[in-house]
C-alpha cells in the first residue's frame, strides 16, 4: 500500500481518471451517442429536417413522450414498472372533461378532481405493490386493463359515444388551455408549453435523484431492496411516491391532451406505456433497477421525437417507424451495456 | 493486545439465555459478556445456534428464558431499530449495501445528512464524501475513490465499509456475523485488522465465526456453541489455539483435523470445510 496524504487533493493511485472516462461512467452517454447518430442520419436523409420550424415539431413530439418518460425512468431506477401509465393519461383527461361537463362546473374544478383521482390511481398501484408483494408487472398490467375498460365503458355510459363532449365553450377553458396547451412562436419556430413542462420535470427529477434523501432511497430501493430496508430506508413510502410521480405526470399529459383538442377519445393511450419505458431504457435506465437518470430518459424521448418526425420529413412510409424504434432500442441497450462495462473495468 | 479495563458492568451480558421455536430448542442456557474494548468470539459449527444468538442480540428475535442485560440493565429488544438506539449495531453477512451505488451514498444510506430548508433541503454531498473518506481512513482503509460503486470493492473492503459505517453511527457494541466466512486468507487478515481497530476505538465486539484460528487471533473471550447449547466458555488467558480447536471440533474428528493443521499451522483456511459432518443440521 502506498503512503497516503489525506490533505492532498489527488490520490496518486487514481491514475488520472480522464474526463472522458468520467463521462463514460454516466448512464445517459449511450443515449447521447445514439441521439447524435439519429440526428445526423435524418439531417442527411431529409432536407426539411434541419429547418428551424422542424425543430419545434420534433421538440413537441419529444416533450409529449418525455413528460411521462421522466417519472417512468425514476420508477424504473426504483426497480418497478408501470404498464398503466399510457391509459392513465387518457383516464386523467376523461375525468376532467366529463366531470366539468356533467357538473357544468368551471373546468378547473374538473382539472383538480382529475389530479386527485389520478394520484389515487398511483397510490393504488403503489399500495398494491407494497402490500401484495406481487411483481409490479402483474399489478400494473391489471390496472392497465381495468383502466382501459373503465375509460371505454364509463365514457359510453355517460356520454353515449366513445369520445367526450366538447368543453371548449366552458368557463375557465381558455385559462386552462394557456397552462396546458398554449404555444409561443419565435420566428418560424412554434414552441408548445409542454416543452417547458418537460424541462421543468427533468430538472426537478434530476435534483431529486442526485441531491435529496429521496433520490438516495430511490437508487437503494431499486438496487438492493433488502439492504435499503435494513439501513432504515422507508422502502414502501418510496415506491408509493414513485407511482404518484407517474400519476402526476399522467395528469399533466392528460390535461394537455384535453385542452389541445377539447374532446378526448376514450380508447387512446394503449401502447404508450411501452413507449415511455423504451425512452427510459434507451436513456440508460437499467431494466433491473438501481441505475439510470432523468436526463437519459429525456434524450431517449428526444430520439423518439426525431425518429417519428424524421420519417415524415424524409417522406417515408410511417410504417417504418416501429422498425426503427425496435432497432434503436436494441442498439442503445447494447451500447449502454458496452459503455458501462468499459467504464467499470477501469484502471 | 489491549486488556481493557474492566468497567463495572459489561456492555452486553447474556445469562442462561434460551430460545425456543415451537418445541425446538434453538438455544439453551447460553451466557456471554461483551466488554468495551474487547472482542467476544462466538464459535460454533453450522446449526450450532450462532444465527439465533446473533438475532437475539440484534433485536430480530426475543429470548424466551434467561436475562439479557445492556450496561447492567435488563432488557428485551423489540426490533433492530431498538437495538441500534441502544448502541448495538449488527453487520450481517449480506452487509446491507447497494452494489451499484457509490461508496459515500452507501455509507450514509438511510441516515443521510442534509442542509438547507424546505424545498431546498438537500444532501450535504461534500460532507458525506469527506466524512466517508476520513472515517474509512480512520479505520485504516485507504479508498482510492469514494465515488466508485461499492460493488467494485473486494469482499473484505465491503465488509470494512460496513464496519466503519456502524462505528461512525455511534455503535457501542458491534456484532459481526461471520465477517471472514467468504474471504480468502489475506482478505480475512485485512478484515480482522479492522475488527481489532474497532476494538481499539473502544467498542465491544461480538465476532461470530466457525474459524478458531481467526477467533484466537483477535478474541479476548470465547464462547463455544454446539447443537444450541454452550459447550465451552473461556478467556484468552486460560485457553490455547489447540484447546479451542479441540473444543470446536469435538473428540473423535480431532485426530484427522490436527493432522491437517500440523501441515499448515497459523491461519490456514479451514473455513470452507465441514469439520464435523455429524453435527450438520439445517442452519436456523
pLDDT tens digits along A182-192: 988 888 888 99
Q: Nearest residue on chain B to A231, judged by CA atoms?
A: B110
For residue range B222-235, list pLDDT tens digits in order: 998 888 888 878 88
- Provide CATH code, domain A52-334: 1.10.3470
For residue range B39-56, list pLDDT tens digits in order: 999 988 877 888 888 888
pLDDT at A347 over 50: no
Domains in chain B, CATH or no CATH each: 12-87+172-279 (3.40.50.300), 100-170 (no CATH)
Cell digits for A314? 424524409
- What number of other Cβ atoms are within 10 A of residue A206's Cβ? 17
Q: How confident is the model at residue A5 (pLDDT cuts 50, 70, 90)?
A: very low
Interface test with B, best of A9, A76, A200, A213 (most B CBs within 10 A): A213
Cell digits for A238? 418510496
Euclidean distance between CA atoms A38 and A41, whole angstroms:
5
| Dihedral pair phi/psi, residue A219, rounded to 5° | -60, -45
Q: Which pLDDT score is estimated for B276?
A: 47
pLDDT at B186 over 60: yes
User: Which comes out higher in pLDDT, residue B92 or B270?
Assistant: B92
User: Which comes out higher in pLDDT, residue B187 or B260?
Assistant: B187
Cβ-in-10-Å burial (0-12, 13-18, 19+) of B231 comes to middle
Alpha-helical (H) ranges within chain B are 50-58, 80-85, 103-107, 125-138, 155-168, 185-200, 212-218, 241-249, 254-263
Q: How confident is the model at residue A302 (pLDDT cuts 50, 70, 90)?
A: very high
Do A223 and B142 count as a contact with CB atoms less than 8 A apart? no
Residues of chain A found within 8 Å of residue B108, distances taken between Cβ atoms: 216
Mean residue pLDDT of chain B comes to 81
For residue range A47-95, list pLDDT tens digits in order: 888 888 888 999 999 999 999 999 999 999 999 999 999 999 999 999 9
Do B144 and A14 count as a contact with CB atoms less than 8 A apart? yes
Residues of chain B found within 8 Å of residue A344, distances taken between Cβ atoms: 149, 152
Euclidean distance between CA atoms B247 and B229, whole angstroms:
13
ipTM summary value: 0.81
CB pairs under 8 A between A and B: 78
CA torsion through residues A304, A306, A312, A316, sign: negative
- The DSSP secondary-structure symbol of A164 reads P
Mean pLDDT of A313-318: 86
pLDDT at B166 over 60: yes
Confirm or reject contact between B85 and chain A (CB < 8 A): no
- B positions 238-277 inside 8 Å of A (CB): none
Q: Which pLDDT score is estimated for B261?
A: 73
Do B101 and A219 count as a contact with CB atoms less than 8 A apart? yes
| Dihedral pair phi/psi, residue A263, rounded to 5° | -125, 155
Cell digits for B213? 484460528
Kindly report the nearest CA distance between residue A196 and chain B, in angstroms: 20
Say which of B123, B149, B152 has its CB closest to residue A212. Answer: B123
Query: CA A192, A194, A196: angle at the middle one, nearest 5?
Result: 90
- What's the length of chain B? 284
Q: Which pLDDT score is estimated for A246?
A: 97
Contacts of B51 (CB under 8 A, 6+ apart): B177, B283, B284
Q: Which pLDDT score is estimated for A7?
A: 42
Query: CA A299, A305, A311: angle at the middle one, nearest 5?
Result: 135
H or E element at residue A42: helix A29-45
Mean residue pLDDT of chain A comes to 87
Most confident of A66-80, A157-171, B113-127: A66-80
Please state the pTM of the whole predicted model.
Answer: 0.81
pLDDT at A237 over 80: yes
Residues of chain A found within 8 Å of residue B81, distances taken between Cβ atoms: 232
pLDDT at A335 over 80: no
Interface test with A, best of B85, B101, B141, B157 (most A CBs within 10 A): B101
Helix (H, G, I), strand (E, B) or coil at B231: strand
User: Which comes out higher in pLDDT, residue B9 or A66?
Assistant: A66
Domain boundaries, chain A: 52-334
Do B100 and A228 count as a contact with CB atoms less than 8 A apart? no
Q: Which pLDDT score is estimated for A147?
A: 96
Mean pLDDT of B247-253: 64
Q: Which pLDDT score is estimated for A32?
A: 85
* Contact in structure between B249 and B260 (CB atoms under 8 Å): no
Amino acid at each position: 500500500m502506498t503512503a497516503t496524504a489525506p490533505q492532498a487533493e489527488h490520490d496518486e493511485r487514481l491514475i488520472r481518471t480522464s474526463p472522458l472516462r468520467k463521462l463514460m461512467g454516466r448512464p445517459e452517454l449511450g443515449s447521447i451517442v445514439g441521439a447524435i447518430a439519429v440526428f445526423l442520419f435524418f439531417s442527411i436523409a431529409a432536407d426539411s429536417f434541419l429547418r428551424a420550424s422542424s425543430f419545434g415539431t420534433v421538440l413537441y413530439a419529444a416533450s409529449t413522450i418525455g413528460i411521462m418518460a421522466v417519472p417512468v425512468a425514476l420508477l424504473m431506477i426504483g426497480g418497478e414498472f408501470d404498464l398503466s401509465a399510457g391509459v392513465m393519461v387518457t383516464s386523467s383527461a376523461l375525468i376532467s372533461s366529463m366531470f366539468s361537463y356533467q357538473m357544468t362546473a368551471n373546468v378547473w374544478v374538473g382539472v383538480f378532481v382529475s389530479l386527485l383521482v389520478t394520484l389515487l390511481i398511483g397510490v393504488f398501484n403503489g399500495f398494491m405493490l407494497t402490500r401484495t408483494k406481487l411483481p409490479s408487472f402483474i399489478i400494473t398490467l391489471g390496472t392497465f386493463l381495468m383502466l382501459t375498460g373503465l375509460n371505454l365503458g364509463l365514457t359510453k355510459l355517460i356520454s353515449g359515444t366513445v369520445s367526450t363532449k366538447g368543453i371548449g365553450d366552458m368557463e375557465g377553458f381558455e385559462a386552462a388551455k394557456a397552462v396546458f396547451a398554449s404555444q409561443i412562436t419565435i420566428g418560424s419556430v412554434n414552441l408548445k408549453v409542454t416543452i417547458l413542462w418537460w424541462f421543468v420535470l427533468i430538472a426537478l427529477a434530476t435534483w431529486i435523484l442526485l441531491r435529496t434523501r429521496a433520490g438516495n432511497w430511490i437508487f437503494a430501493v431499486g438496487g438492493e431492496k433488502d439492504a435499503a430496508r435494513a439501513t432504515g430506508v422507508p422502502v414502501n413510502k418510496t415506491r408509493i411516491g414513485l407511482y404518484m410521480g407517474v400519476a402526476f405526470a399522467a395528469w399533466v399529459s392528460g390535461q394537455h391532451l384535453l385542452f389541445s383538442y377539447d374532446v378526448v377519445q376514450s380508447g387512446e393511450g394503449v401502447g404508450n406505456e411501452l413507449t415511455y419505458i423504451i425512452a427510459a431504457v434507451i436513456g440508460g435506465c437499467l431494466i433491473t433497477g438501481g441505475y439510470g437518470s432523468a436526463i437519459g430518459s429525456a434524450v431517449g424521448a428526444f430520439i423518439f421525437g426525431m425518429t417519428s418526425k424524421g420519417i415524415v420529413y424524409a417522406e417515408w412510409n410511417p410504417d417504418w417507424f416501429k422498425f426503427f424504434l425496435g432497432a434503436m432500442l436494441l442498439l442503445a441497450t447494447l451500447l449502454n451495456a458496452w459503455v458501462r462495462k468499459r467504464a467499470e473495468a477501469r484502471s | 493486545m489491549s486488556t481493557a479495563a474492566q468497567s463495572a458492568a459489561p456492555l452486553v451480558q447474556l445469562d442462561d439465555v434460551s430460545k425456543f421455536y415451537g418445541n425446538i430448542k434453538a438455544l439453551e442456557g447460553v451466557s456471554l459478556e461483551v466488554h468495551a474494548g474487547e472482542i467476544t468470539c462466538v464459535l460454533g459449527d453450522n446449526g450450532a445456534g450462532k444465527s439465533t444468538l446473533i438475532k437475539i442480540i440484534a433485536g430480530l428475535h426475543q429470548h424466551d428464558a434467561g436475562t439479557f442485560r445492556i450496561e447492567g440493565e435488563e432488557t428485551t429488544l423489540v426490533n433492530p431499530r431498538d437495538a441500534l438506539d441502544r448502541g448495538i449495531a449488527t453487520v450481517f453477512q449480506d452487509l446491507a449495501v447497494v452494489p451499484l451505488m457509490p461508496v459515500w451514498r452507501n455509507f450514509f444510506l438511510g441516515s443521510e445528512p442534509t442542509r438547507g430548508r424546505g424545498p431546498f433541503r438537500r444532501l450535504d454531498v461534500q460532507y458525506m464524501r469527506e466524512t466517508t473518506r476520513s472515517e474509512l481512513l480512520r479505520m485504516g482503509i485507504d479508498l482510492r475513490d469514494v465515488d466508485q460503486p461499492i460493488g467494485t470493492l473486494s469482499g473484505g473492503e465491503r465488509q470494512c465499509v460496513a464496519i466503519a459505517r456502524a462505528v461512525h453511527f455511534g455503535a457501542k457494541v458491534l456484532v459481526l456475523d461471520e465477517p471472514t466466512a467468504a474471504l480468502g486468507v489475506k482478505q480475512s487478515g485485512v478484515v480482522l485488522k479492522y475488527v481489532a481497530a474497532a476494538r481499539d476505538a473502544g467498542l465491544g465486539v461480538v465476532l461470530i465465526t466457525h474459524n478458531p484460528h481467526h477467533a484466537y487471533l483477535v478474541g479476548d473471550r470465547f464462547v463455544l456453541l454446539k447443537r444450541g447449547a454452550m459447550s465451552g466458555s473461556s478467556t484468552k488467558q486460560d485457553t490455547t489455539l489447540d484447546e479451542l480447536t479441540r473444543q470446536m471440533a469435538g473428540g473423535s474428528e480431532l485426530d484427522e483435523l490436527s493432522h491437517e493443521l500440523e501441515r499448515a499451522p497459523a491461519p490456514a483456511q479451514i473455513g470452507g470445510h465441514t469439520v464435523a459432518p455429524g453435527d450438520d443440521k439445517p442452519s436456523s
